[in-house]
Amino acid sequence: MSGLTTLQVRTAKPGRHADGRGLYLVVREGGSRAWVARIQADGKRRDFGLGSAHTVSLSDARSAVAELRRKYQNGETIAPKKASAAPKASVPTFEDAARTCHAAMKEGWRNKKHIDSWIACLENHAFPTFGAEPVDRIDTIMVRDVLAPIWLKVPETARRTLQRIGTVLDYAHVNGWCPTEAALRSVRKGLPRQPRRDNHYEAMPFADVPGFVGELKALSPTAGRDALRFTIYTAVRSNETRFAVWPELDLDKAVWAIPGERMKTGKPHVVPLPESAVALLRRRWKLREADDGLVFSNDGEKPLSDMTMTKVLRDMGHERITVHGFRSAFTDWAAEETETPKEIVDKALAHQLPDKVEAAYRRTDFFAKRRMLMDAWRDYVDVG
């Protein structure tokens, strides 16, 4: 069936967009997206609202139109109504939205301390000021005013509070409570620059990675966020993710074959893909522009910049963490939490062996053992 694609539903500009068979996507200037069914019966045209495109999928909307047409053909009486007259979904307060968001995300977290501290951060700093406000009314000025008293006194807490407010607002957008995604980058421009402790950028401690991945998954998906998750799942270098193309991937066998010319070592590298990585790729496959295009790209042709994934980290409040640091977190986890020999971990990271004699004699790539290792890493960071 020709018509709109899932990508077009997410990115269509303001206006009325036809899918076919009487189904239309109506995008308003504020960013809200709604489905409308147009039915012709007895020479009269009638429109029916089918709900927000943020909560009703394209396939469900098509099914709803087909059901309406069937009822008309069977002579059933249906009270006509315009989409604009449809009752507006109740918008929860910021506190209610935050607690709902927290309940949804914590199922994927193992660290009890992180579960408690995540919501406590908002209870201490956000709820007293605007917890009772409808979540769709929270703006950058309100967020700035919450952060101002703690921005220089407890900078790390302030950054985490900002990131968690953003997570709640993004969750509210996905659930149709806010018409647009949160735009909190300008909040920092209204606050003094926080002093750096030193010039060193850090890797995230491996114990914090599961909580971070849970928060990342709760955000609405973008090419940059998907690329960062995929990079964490596979422990590859960011460039290997940025330039990945669909022909390199075999989703049925859960294998990614990276050619030597794209590897730092100059040698081909075969990556066993854990379940979460495959699921992410299957979702992106449905959004692809071409079967041979870039996997993590908005148009399949232009690769993400080398700062795109870093921007995701910064937007989530991690000013000092690098994307490459997740490889260090993976290494530390393997050493501390598993009994995997170092040579297998090195092979998973596609490290070049410094000893040329050892490299010449080591012919195996430990693929089966590396698959077990990557599956265990997935179980650790992505229990949800």
Residue 26: the pLDDT is: 82
In the chain, DSSP finds a helix count (H) and a strand count (E) of 16, 7
The partner residues of 382 in beta bridges, in order of sequence, read none
Query: For the chain, which domains are there?
Result: 6-85 (3.30.160.390), 94-190 (1.10.150.130), 206-381 (1.10.443.10)
Residue 67: the pLDDT is: 83
Residue 29: the pLDDT is: 63
Residue 359: the pLDDT is: 45
Torsion-angle region of residue 235: left (phi > 0), alpha (psi -120 to 50) or beta? left
Residue 360: the pLDDT is: 43
User: pTM of whole model > 0.85?
Assistant: no
Where do runs of H (alpha helix) occur along the chain?
6-11, 58-73, 94-105, 112-125, 127-130, 140-147, 155-174, 209-218, 223-234, 238-242, 275-285, 308-315, 325-337, 342-348, 356-361, 367-381
Contact in structure between 190 and 315 (CB atoms under 8 Å): no
Integer angstrom CA distances of residue 16 from 4, 19, 26, 61: 12, 10, 5, 15
Residue 84: the pLDDT is: 40
Residue 7: the pLDDT is: 77
Instruction: For residues 369 and 345, give the distance between their C-alpha atoms in angstroms, rounded to a whole number.
Output: 10
Residue 42: the pLDDT is: 60
Residue 353: the pLDDT is: 58
Q: What is the mean pLDDT of each run of 10 residues along the chain (384 residues)?
A: 75 82 77 76 70 78 83 65 46 92 81 79 92 91 92 87 90 85 81 68 86 92 95 95 95 94 87 95 91 90 89 90 93 91 91 54 75 94 74
